Amino acid sequence: MITVPEPAGPGAFVHPAFFYEDFDGYVAGVGAFVGAAVSAGEPVLVAVPGPSLDALRESLGGSADGVTWTDMTDLGRNPGRILAALQDFADLHVSRPARIVGEPIWAGRSPAEVLEATRHEALINTAFAGRPATVLCPYDVRGLAPEVLADARRTHPTLIEGGSDLPSPAYADAARVSADCDRPLPEPGGEVPWFTYAHGGLAEVREYADAWARGTGLSAARRGDLVLAVSEAAANSLSHGGGKGALRLWVTAGPGAEAVAEIRDAGRLADPLAGRRRPSLASANGGRGLWMIHQLCDLVEVRALPDGFTLRLHMAAP
């Protein structure tokens, strides 16, 4: 028996984790959720990895035409970009409760990606609080590690498991989960020098990053993206991080090689949603720098610790 969560009522936000055992159960469960929304005339967004997207489309037949489809491997390559896309969709349909399927964690994700996706799953509860929307998040109980499933129980107020839709006893406050995601970052292999900067040194930061990026194999366009992202992070250090900061750059080894930039300063992250939701044009700063960084990079790791703020930016390198 497949349980379909009730749609959100006025002012209500519903955020269940759907634990599935096999792909047939996945298609049946998610398909029932989407089909019910289409039948009710509700707006539906499905953001799941490509192969699952195709199977769901096929299972829905003609009903698939009423759905907005998005490949999560593109949208969610950097988990920090997902939240804004979900909110943008809900904002397009303010007169009706939106139904969304979001699958930010799947087998094969790197530990760093899973951690930032877990942070996203926690923060979505804050971002959508009081909004009439339902966001269903599938989790593969056989393909994902036990600790990932344990975190899903902490980030979702309700669970769909074994044919039941019940409150999650492990559900935790978003701030607590996000703080638990601020784990120490692994050190790069070998010695990587630090480049320090202070007020008046932003141009030098750009020149240093550009000169380094020319030796990475990144295309000219991606080099420009990396330099811009580093520049925005350094500018944030100067404005909000104590007026100084430190930068280091390296390339990871192996077939999944990445160019990595890490920026550290003495700042604090006052708004955990900064950079994850579209900034307001009316705001004096509005997190536009962090927003741009998330849009430019393939992964952004965030660490907000008592001794300062760290951003680790990743870009896939040939």
Written as six digits, the tokens of 224 are: 């420009």
Q: Which residues are CB-contacts of 40 (< 8 A; sequence separation ≥ 6)?
A: 7
Identity at 4, one-letter amino acid code: V
pLDDT recorded at residue 199: 93
φ/ψ (deg, to 5) at 138: -75, 145
| Helices 202-213, 220-240: crossing angle, 10 deg rounding | 150
pLDDT recorded at residue 280: 76
Cα separation of 70 and 102, whole Å?
10
80 neighbors 295 (Cβ within 8 angstroms): no
Domain ranges of the chain: 13-180, 195-316
Q: Is 76 helix (H, G, I), strand (E, B) or coil?
A: coil
Q: Identify the CATH assignment for 13-180 out of 3.30.420.40, 3.40.50.300, 3.20.20.140, 3.40.50.880.
A: 3.40.50.300
pLDDT recorded at residue 1: 45
Could you read off the pLDDT of 57-109 as tens digits, one per residue? 999 988 888 899 999 999 999 999 999 999 999 999 888 889 999 999 999 99
Averaged over successive runs of 10 residues, the pLDDT of the chain (318 residues) comes to 58 91 95 93 95 93 90 96 96 90 96 97 95 96 97 97 92 95 93 95 97 94 97 93 94 89 93 89 69 97 93 92
Yes or no: is domain 195-316 CATH 3.30.700.30? no
Cα separation of 119 and 274, whole Å?
13
Place of tokens 């990871």: 252
Vertex 85: Cα angle to 81 and 88 (nearest 5): 140
